[in-house]
Amino acid sequence: MVLGPLLALPWYLSLLGPKQFGLISFITTLQGFLILLECGISQVSSREFAVRMDNATIDCVNSAQLLFSLERIYWGASISAGLVLFALADVITRRWLSLDSQSYRFGIEAIYGAGAIFAIQFPGALYRCFLANSNKQVVLNSIVVTAMIGRHLTCVLLLFIWPTLFTYLIWQFIAVGIETFTRSQYSWKFVDTSRRNLRWDYNKIKPVLMSSRKMSAAVILGPLTSQMDKLFLSWMVPIEQFGYYVIASTLANGVLQVIQPLVLAVSPRIMQSISDPVVLRQINVRLMIQILLIVVSGGLIYFFAGKFVLELWLKKSTTVSVVYPVLSILLIGSVLNALYHVGYYNWLAHDKSNMILLVNFLSFIVCIVTMPIFIHFNGTIGATFGFVAMNLIGLIISLEWLKKSK
């Protein structure tokens, strides 16, 4: 899952050039903002699917009804968001991006592509949520890894033949569509119920939607704050510099993804153990130790071999000289975020959205006030301080689980 985009990234930069690669980075940023549409509902759905698909009390009928109803909401939201991006393509290209007149066409292509890719990708998040919380992590990880490698490997090969932004966008749309369809097929296979036997029932989904409204207010500021560095940078620096920053950000987030299979495997057990404090404490401590082992091992590798590997990977010393200092600071934020996961999933299990809201609100205020100043005086590296600050705030507050476990 992590290796696909990371291995392909130098080829994208080399084959498309800094400017078109910068636009690809902006597409990724736009998708990061659009994913805010599912913030609250995905958190609540995770809890609901985990309870319904618990091996001890598996309830396929109610799971199928919930999946059926959420499908309509996700597909409706994805298509609507895609159409909005199509309508705003000219405004975004002219008023936000730092492009010269010759690059205007590429900017329009990028926005159109972002809308189309999001429209087909967004519903896949629902199926991922179902599989992850139905103890089907092996199946989900197999789909994600296979799709990610095929998606980027094939894209690089196509760019060798047709090195254009249009080629990249077309293939990403096709590959994402295949992955979403595959996740959908497996999700419905596991609930063992046909869509033909189900009908839309608002009363059955109403509790989930009401709970998601509360959760949305709490969690939406988190992803919004995590994208704030890229939002300000895409506006304040040339698109080429923005692309270099996204290389470092992609690496930092890719490293963070190493712990995701572990967290996804443990999170259903956290949800199912809230009524047994002793068992929950054991799960929390074990998860924290495992994350710490991964973090320490990764830190030692980066300290001794990070710059060498980066030069081997990017192949250009000029690019490495820009990316390395940015990446070093972003990795500190990634470590803090990894440790924050333990407390976060405990809040989610106990429906303590007020704590999530507190963390995200404080992080948002810190970032929106300080980040433009840091970027103005320090350029791209100034954007990293907000990322570190928001994760430090989250980790410190989330450590309350340690006190409650005594």
Q: For residue range 196-220, list pLDDT tens digits in order.
A: 777 777 776 776 666 666 566 556 6
Site of tokens 């989930």 = 208
- The verdict on residue 190 lying in a domain is yes
Q: 189 and 263 share a domain?
A: no
Structure tokens at 134: 């139905």
Residue 159: per-residue pLDDT? 95
**Residue 162 three-state SS:** coil
Residue 406: per-residue pLDDT? 45
Hey, which of 26-40, 117-131, 163-177 has the most confident mean pLDDT? 163-177
Q: How many CB atoms lie within 10 A of CB 303?
A: 10
Residue 43: per-residue pLDDT? 66
User: Would you call 258 exposed, middle or buried from its count of C-beta atoms within 10 A (0-12, 13-18, 19+)?
Assistant: middle
Q: Is the pLDDT of residue 346 over 60?
A: yes
Q: Is the pLDDT of residue 93 over 70?
A: yes
Point out the domain boundary residue: 171, 195, 217: 217
- The verdict on residue 78 lying in a domain is yes
Among 28-37, 382-391, 394-403, the minimum mean pLDDT is found in 28-37
Q: 288 and 383 share a domain?
A: yes
Residue 405: per-residue pLDDT? 47
- The verdict on residue 361 lying in a domain is yes
Q: Is the pLDDT of residue 95 over 70?
A: yes
**If you average pLDDT over every residue of the chain, what do you get?**
84
Name the residue among 120, 102, 100, 106 with its Cα closest to residue 23.
Answer: 106
User: Would you call 110 exposed, middle or buried from its count of C-beta atoms within 10 A (0-12, 13-18, 19+)?
Assistant: buried
Read off the amino acid at residue 16: L
169-180 mean pLDDT: 95
Q: 200 and 233 share a domain?
A: no
Which residues, other chains included, contact 119 with Cβ-Cβ below 8 Å and sequence gap of 6+? 78, 79, 81, 82
Q: 121 and 43 share a domain?
A: yes
- The verdict on residue 264 lying in a domain is yes
Q: 258 and 273 share a domain?
A: yes
- The gap from C-alpha 66 to its chain's centroid, in whole angstroms, comes to 23
Residue 70: per-residue pLDDT? 84
Q: At 317, is the pLDDT very low, low, confident or very high (cuts 50, 70, 90)?
A: confident
Calpha distance 215→241 (Å, rounded): 36
Read off the pTM. Answer: 0.74
Q: 209 and 313 share a domain?
A: no
104-131 mean pLDDT: 90
Q: Is the pLDDT of residue 396 over 60?
A: yes
H-run or E-run covering 267: helix 260-272
Cα dihedral sign for 355, 358, 359, 360?
positive
Q: 87 and 21 share a domain?
A: yes
User: Would you call 199 exposed, middle or buried from its count of C-beta atoms within 10 A (0-12, 13-18, 19+)?
Assistant: exposed
- The verdict on residue 381 lying in a domain is yes
Calpha distance 299→97 (Å, rounded): 35
Name the residue among 213, 29, 182 with its Cα closest to residue 120.
Answer: 182
- DSSP secondary structure string, 59-71? -HHHHHHHHHHHH
Q: 11 and 62 share a domain?
A: yes
- The verdict on residue 165 lying in a domain is yes
Q: 389 and 289 share a domain?
A: yes
User: Is the distance from CB of 139 to CB of 183 less than 8 angstroms?
Assistant: no
Q: Is the pLDDT of residue 52 over 80?
A: no
Give the residue with greater pLDDT, 65 vs 249: 249
Q: At 4, is the pLDDT very low, low, confident or very high (cuts 50, 70, 90)?
A: low
Q: At 114, is the pLDDT very low, low, confident or very high (cuts 50, 70, 90)?
A: very high
Name the residue among 114, 119, 136, 7 with its Cα closest to residue 60.
Answer: 136
Q: Give the number of domains in the chain.
A: 2
Q: Is the pLDDT of residue 147 over 70?
A: yes
Calpha distance 380→378 (Å, rounded): 7
Residue 40: per-residue pLDDT? 63
Distance separating the N- and C-terminal Cα atoms of the chain:
37
Extended beta strands in 127-238, E state = none
Percent of the chain at pLDDT > 90 equals 29
Q: Is the pLDDT of residue 102 over 70?
A: yes
Give the residue with greater pLDDT, 53 vs 78: 78
Point out the domain boundary residue: 196, 217, 238: 217
85-94 mean pLDDT: 91
Q: At 191, is the pLDDT very low, low, confident or very high (cuts 50, 70, 90)?
A: confident
Site of tokens 């510099």 = 241
Q: 94 and 162 share a domain?
A: yes
User: Would you call 273 exposed, middle or buried from its count of C-beta atoms within 10 A (0-12, 13-18, 19+)?
Assistant: middle
Q: To 5 degrees, how large is the angle CA 142–CA 147–CA 152?
A: 140
- Tell me phi and psi for residue 54, to 5 degrees: -60, 135
Read off the amino acid at residue 215: M
Q: 295 and 153 share a domain?
A: no
- The verdict on residue 371 lying in a domain is yes
Calpha distance 253→340 (Å, rounded): 14
The parent domain of residue 69 ranges over 1-217
Point out the domain boundary residue: 217, 239, 270: 217
- The verdict on residue 406 lying in a domain is no
Q: Is the pLDDT of residue 194 over 60?
A: yes
Q: 46 and 154 share a domain?
A: yes
Query: CA–CA distance from 328 to each of 28, 75, 177, 181, 244 (Å)?
Result: 21, 39, 35, 38, 14
Taking only the tens place, the pLDDT of each residue in 230-280 is 888 888 888 888 889 989 988 888 888 788 888 878 887 887 788 888 888
